[in-house]
Amino acid sequence: MTVRHDVPVLVNSDTEGRSAGTSRLISILGLIFAFGSLFGSFFIFDAAYRDLDNALWYYAGGSFLVSFGFWVALWLVPKLDG
């Protein structure tokens, strides 16, 4: 098998100037934030049981926080990581 040297190599311009350490730091901080929002939502769900008058708002806020945490972990971090 021969290597063709006339074929251009595609480079992702978003992460072209980013070092591996910076990319790893973004991944770690993003995942810490995602897990923090996931576990933080458990306290919001618990607050819904303690304040039954506003339980719907607590439950909606907890659901949003869980969804946001999963979005950060599964979509945003891989996009920023490149």
Any idea where the domains of the chain sit in the sequence? 20-81
Is 76 in contact with 37 (CB distance < 8 Å)? no
**CA 76 to CA 6: how far, in whole Å?**
35
pLDDT tens per residue, range 39-72: 999 999 999 999 999 999 999 999 999 999 999 9
pLDDT score of 3 more than 70:
no
Name the least confident of 33-37, 69-73, 78-82: 78-82
Is 24 in contact with 82 (CB distance < 8 Å)? no
Q: What is the pLDDT of residue 18?
A: 65
On average, the pLDDT of the chain sits at 82
pTM higher than 0.85 for the full model?
Answer: no
**CA 52 to CA 65: how far, in whole Å?**
19
What's the chain's length in residues? 82
